[in-house]
């Protein structure tokens, strides 16, 4: 189903080296950042010796030119995740010595700076790093404060602190939560870790210049130009019960619900390590995601880190009662029926029934379908660089003439209009 291009080329535009001037720190020299934190718009800020870079690309500037009243070296910074308190949710907290400042929309909040003990009682001064950890990734909405190998896990609601020592983890000079993963930066390298256990999986450390900024002669995939929206071709798309939307093309997947933190493509094996050769169709149901490739279906629990359900993969015939190649599949919210598209026919499978109950199938006004998605605004059927909108599965099944095709746009997947 997939063409030679992947969405990686769509969502990672070419970026240019910042060309920092004389006397300014150059992050491509392999420096150690003092702090890293995203703001309320998802823009990632890198702090070093009174200077700041405001994205993955571009030159540095004095931090005081961007954040009013901020000058000098920063010890640590993080973006608050506290949806229950809109007064500080998404604010950036910046730590310097024994003081902490709160910024929103680049402006210092009234009453700041404050003493760290006043704002975060029990947290030490002169921190090394800090990073937010929302409930679901940590036990409660929390902040991880790093000093040496000690980690102070601060419960935002109760102000309780749990102490941990992660001697296996390098001393973090800065830390970042990005797309639900956690990174400890040390020197010009980074190590990804689990926010509860501190566990490190995979081969680390890695050079940050390959992944978190653009530098000449660095990069984990080379420069890419944005692909025209007219060239887009999806393999699959789904939204899970947590509202996370994924698109799949070739060997990569991309989260579409994280526009604020940027659209970025990753190898499918990063999220679903057993699925090594792309997918044909994907759908979500009861906190699980079903990935279909060939005659196999893989079912994963949709927790923070996808876990393959024991006993899988199974054949599509065994799991869904369907034989033959699956082109697309989707489940509508609060329903128990997966709609399976094969060629120009759609079958309905009752997922609440054991064994599965499969409908005879109905003809569709379209063939060559790549993917399907059902949400509160109806159904989108994707074919090439266009999609077709239907109000409901019933309308789709009853239609004999395809509606007017709608072009896939940059607002949807980050391509170039």
Per-residue pLDDT of the chain (417 residues; tens, 9 = 90+): 433 233 233 333 333 344 456 678 889 888 999 999 998 888 899 999 999 998 877 789 999 999 988 989 999 999 999 989 989 999 999 999 999 999 999 999 999 999 999 999 999 999 999 999 999 899 999 999 999 999 999 999 999 999 999 999 999 999 999 888 899 999 999 999 999 999 998 899 999 998 888 888 876 543 445 578 899 899 999 998 888 889 998 888 888 766 566 666 778 988 898 999 899 999 999 999 999 999 999 999 987 578 899 999 999 999 999 999 999 999 999 999 999 999 999 999 999 999 898 988 999 999 999 999 999 999 999 999 999 999 999 999 999 999 999 999 887 876 777
Cα dihedral 85→87→91→93 (10° resolution): -90
> Degrees (nearest 5) of the Cα angle 208, 214, 220?
60
Question: pLDDT per residue over 166-191, tens digit each?
Answer: 999 999 999 999 888 899 999 999 99
Work out the number of other CB atoms within 10 angstroms of the CB of residue 403.
15
Q: How far apart are CA 405 and CA 44, in angstroms?
A: 37
Specify burial of residue 226 (Cβ count, 10 A radius: 0-12, 13-18, 19+): middle
Closest by Cα among 36, 70, 30 to 50: 70
Phi/psi at 13 (nearest 5 deg)?
Answer: -70, 160
What is the tens place of the pLDDT at every residue in 107-135? 999 999 999 999 999 999 999 999 999 99
Indicate yes or no: pTM above 0.75.
no
Stretch (H or E) spanning 178: strand 174-178
Identify the DSSP state of 350: E
Burial letters 321-333, b for 16+ CB under 10 A, else e: bbeeebbbbbbbe
Report the C-alpha gap between 14 and 214 in whole angstroms. 9
Write the pLDDT tens digit of every residue in 236-291. 999 988 888 899 988 888 887 665 666 667 789 888 989 998 999 999 999 999 99
Distance CA 212, CA 191 (A): 12
Strand 114-115 to 357-358 pairing: unpaired
Which residue matches tokens 């601060």? 154
Q: Tokens for 251?
A: 């060997």
Give the CA count within 13 Å in the CB-facing half-sphere of 104. Answer: 10
């Amino acid at each position: 189903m997939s063409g030679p291009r992947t969405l990686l080329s769509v969502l990672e535009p070419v970026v240019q080296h910042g060309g920092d001037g004389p006397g300014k720190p150059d992050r491509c020299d392999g420096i150690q950042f003092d702090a890293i934190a995203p703001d309320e718009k998802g823009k990632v800020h890198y702090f070093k010796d009174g200077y700041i870079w405001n994205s993955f690309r571009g030159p540095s500037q004095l931090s005081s030119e961007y954040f009013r009243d901020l000058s000098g070296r920063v010890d640590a910074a993080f973006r608050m995740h506290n949806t229950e308190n809109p007064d500080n949710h998404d604010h950036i907290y910046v730590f310097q010595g024994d003081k902490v400042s709160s910024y929103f929309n680049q402006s210092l909040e009234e009453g700041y700076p404050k003493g760290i003990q006043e704002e975060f009682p029990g947290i030490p001064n002169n921190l090394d790093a800090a990073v937010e950890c929302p409930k679901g990734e940590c036990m409660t909405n929390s902040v991880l404060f790093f000093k040496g190998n000690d980690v102070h896990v601060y419960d935002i609601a109760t102000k309780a602190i749990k102490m941990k020592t992660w001697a296996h983890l390098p001393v973090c000079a800065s830390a970042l939560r990005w797309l639900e993963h956690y990174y400890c930066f040390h020197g010009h390298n980074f190590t990804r870790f689990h926010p509860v256990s501190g566990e490190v999986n995979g081969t680390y450390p890695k050079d940050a210049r390959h992944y978190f900024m653009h530098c000449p002669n660095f990069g984990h995939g080379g420069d890419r130009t944005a692909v025209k929206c007219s060239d887009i071709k999806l393999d699959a798309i789904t939204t899970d019960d947590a509202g996370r939307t994924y698109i799949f093309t070739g060997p990569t997947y991309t989260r579409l619900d994280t526009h604020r933190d940027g659209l970025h493509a990753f190898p499918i094996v990063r999220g679903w390590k057993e699925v090594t050769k792309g997918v044909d169709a994907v759908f979500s149901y009861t906190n699980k995601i079903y990935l279909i490739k060939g005659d196999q279906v893989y079912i994963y629990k949709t927790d923070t880190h996808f876990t393959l359900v024991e006993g899988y993969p199974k054949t599509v015939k065994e799991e869904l009662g369907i034989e033959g190649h699956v082109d697309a599949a989707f489940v509508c919210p609060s329903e128990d029926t997966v709609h399976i598209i094969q060629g120009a026919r759609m079958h309905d499978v009752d997922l609440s029934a054991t064994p599965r109950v499969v409908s005879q199938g109905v003809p569709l006004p379209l063939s060559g379908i790549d993917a399907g998605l059902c949400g509160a605004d109806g159904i989108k059927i994707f074919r090439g660089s266009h999609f077709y909108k239907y109000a409901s599965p019933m309308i789709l099944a009853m239609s004999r003439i395809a509606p007017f095709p709608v072009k896939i746009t940059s607002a949807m997947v980050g391509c170039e209009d």
